[in-house]
Chain A
C-alpha cells in the first residue's frame, strides 16, 4: 500500500472538497495571469502608440524641414551687412547705421565667388530734416543692384534711382501733395519726383530714395555707404546665417551681418514650434503612460495579494474541513502505527496535487479564454507577448507551493492529532 494510493482514493471519495480546492487555485492562477496580461498589454500597447507618434512626428518634421528648405531656397531671405564697429543697438534703435564703410565693399563682394547671396544693394541712410518742407525724413541713397560677376545676370530686385530724381514714400507725398513728375527742392537742390510709393505702413512711408552718388555728395560722405542689403540668400542648411556669415567674413572681415525678418524665418520658427509641440505631446503621452502604468501596478499590487490571500484562506478552510472529516481515520492510522510524517505527507501531497492540477486548469482556462477577450481587455496584444514561457512555468510551480503552504497548518493539526484522544471519545 503506497501513500499515493491512499491520497488518490481519498480524492476520488471526497471529490467535491478536492474540486473546490482545485477551482480556487485555478481561479487564483487565472486572475494572476489576467492581471499580469492586462498590465503587460497596456504597457506594450502604449509603447507602440508612443513609438508610432514618435515615428509620425519624425516623418512630419522631416517633411516640414524639406518643405522649408525648398521654400527658403526658392524665396531666399535677406541680410544686412554693416561696418564691423557699428553698435547694433543703435541700428535697432534708429533704424540705420551711423558708421560707414567704403562703397567698394559691395563691388568686392560682387566680384567674389560668393554663392549664398543673389542680390547686393549698397545704401547710405540717414534721418534728417527736409528743410524746405520742415519735415523729418529718412533719406536713403541707393544705386541699384551690384551685379554678381560670376553669375548669370538676374532680374534686379530693386530699380536704381536715376540721378536728379527722387522716389518719395506715401506719407510724405500724400501730406505734401507731391505727385510723380513734380519738381521739388531738397536741401537746396532741385529734383524731379520720379516715383511715389503706395502706402506700406512702415517707415518707408516717410522715406525719400535718392541716387547713391547724389546722396553721398549731399551728406558729405563721398564713396561711403552704411549698409549693404543682400537679398534672396540661398543656403542649403537650416543655419542660414551661420553659413552666410562664414562665407562673407572671408571676403569682408571688417563687416558684421544680421538677418532681417522673412517669411521663411517665420516658417522656420513655426516649424520649430510645431516640433516643440510634438515633442511636448510625446513627452506628455510618455508621462501619462508612466503614470497609468504606475497606477495599474499599484492596483495590481493591491489586487494580487488579495486574490492570493483569498485563495490561501479558501484552500486552508477546505483542508481544515478535510481534516475534520477524517479525524477518526487519522486516529486509527496513528493507532496502527502510521507516523505523523506520513499523515502530514498525505494531507500536503493532496494539497500539492490540487495546486498543480488547479494551476494547469488555471493556465488552460486563461489560454482558452484569452483569444475571446483579447480585443476587449488586452488591447489585442498576442498572448505570447503578455505572458512569457517562464511565467507559465512559474505559475505551474508556484501554485502547488502556495497550496502546500495554505494547507500546512491543517495538515500539521492532522499529523499532531492524539489518537488516544480521538479513539477515547469515539
Chain B
C-alpha cells in the first residue's frame, strides 16, 4: 500500500460522451481531481449526473474520450485490454451496491475469486483473515443466498481487499444496507483509508458522506464547488 503523501488517483480533464437515441450525452465533462493515499472520498450528486460513469473511468474500466487518468502513477488506458485487466486486479478493488457475489460459490471462494486474476500464490490465509476481521469467518462455506444482506456486502468488501489494492471504488456500498450494517461497512472502508489506501465512494447516503473524509459533488457531468470539499461544507454553505 502507498503512503499518505502519494497520489493514488489523478484525473485531468476527463470527458465521456455517449450517443443515445436522444442525441449525444456528455456524461462526464472536464472533470479533474486528485485522491491521495489515505483519502476516503464520497462522490455524490443527483441521479444521472455521471457518478457511476466517473467511477468506472476511475476504475480503468471505461476509457475517457479525453483527459488523463493515473492510478498509482500509471495510466491504465495506455495498456491493452488484458494488461488493463491485470492492472485492475493489482491496484483496484470494487464494491457494488448489489454486491455481485457469485451465487454458486461459498463465502471463501467468493473472496478467493480474485486469485483467478493472475495471483501465483494462494491467498487463502489472507481471505480467512479478512473474513474473520469482518466477522463472517464462521460462515466460510455458506453460499451468498444463505447470508444476510450485511454479510454479503462484507464478503464483497473482503473480495475487493484480497489483493491489497491501493484504491477501493465503491458504488453505493450502503445503498441496500440497514444503518447497522452500513456503519460496519463504512467503518471498514475508513479503516482501509486509515491504513493508507484510497477510497472513492459513490453515495446518496448522508451518513456515508459524513463517514468520508472529503467529498466531490458532481452535477451534469461537471464537478461542482471546486475540485474537492470536506463533507458537510456544502450543507453549511
Tell me the A residues contacting B by CB distance below 8 Å.
1, 3, 5-6, 9-10, 12-14, 328-329, 331-342, 419-420, 423-424, 426
Contact = CB atoms under 8 A, between A and B. Distances in A.
Interface in B108-147: 109, 112-118
Contact of B85 (A12, A13, A337, A426): A337
Interface centre among B100, B103, B116 (most CB of A within 10 A): B116
Interface stretch (B39-47, B89-97, B204-212, B216-224): B89-97
Contacts of A420: 56, 61-62
Contact of B61 (A9, A335, A340): A335
B150 interface: no
Nearest to A332: B100
B221 to A, nearest CB: 14
Contacts of B160: 336
A340 B81 CA distance: 9
Interface in B69-103: 81-82, 85-90, 93-94, 96, 98, 100, 102-103
A336 B113 contact: yes
Contacts of B154: none
Given A329-B100, A335-B59, 19 more contacts: A1-B109, A1-B115, A6-B105, A6-B113, A6-B116, A13-B104, A333-B113, A335-B94, A336-B93, A336-B94, A336-B114, A337-B89, A337-B90, A337-B163, A338-B85, A339-B117, A340-B82, A419-B61, A424-B56
26 contacts: A1-B109, A1-B113, A1-B114, A6-B109, A6-B113, A13-B104, A14-B104, A329-B100, A335-B59, A336-B88, A336-B94, A336-B113, A337-B85, A337-B114, A338-B89, A338-B113, A338-B116, A338-B117, A340-B81, A419-B61, A420-B56, A420-B61, A423-B52, A423-B96, A426-B96, A426-B100
A425 to B, nearest CB: 10
Interface of B: 52-53, 56, 59, 61-62, 81-82, 85-90, 93-94, 96, 98, 100, 102-105, 109, 112-118, 159-160, 163
Nearest to A5: B109
B90 to A, nearest CB: 7
A13 B103 contact: yes
A341 B86 CA distance: 12
A1 B126 CA distance: 13
A10 B106 CA distance: 11
A346 B87 CA distance: 21
Contacts of B104: 9-10, 12-14
Q: Which 10 residue pairs are nearest across A and B when measured between Cβ atoms?
A: A337-B89, A13-B104, A337-B117, A1-B112, A420-B62, A420-B61, A1-B115, A332-B100, A337-B88, A338-B116
A113 B89 CA distance: 114
B5 to A, nearest CB: 27
Contacts of A10: 104
A339 B118 contact: yes
A359 to B, nearest CB: 25
Nearest to A3: B116
Interface centre among B90, B100, B109, B159 (most CB of A within 10 A): B100
Nearest to A331: B100
Contacts of B53: 424
Contacts of B56: 420, 423-424
A224 B93 CA distance: 133
Contacts of A329: 100, 102
B100 A341 contact: no
B8 to A, nearest CB: 17
Nearest to B94: A335
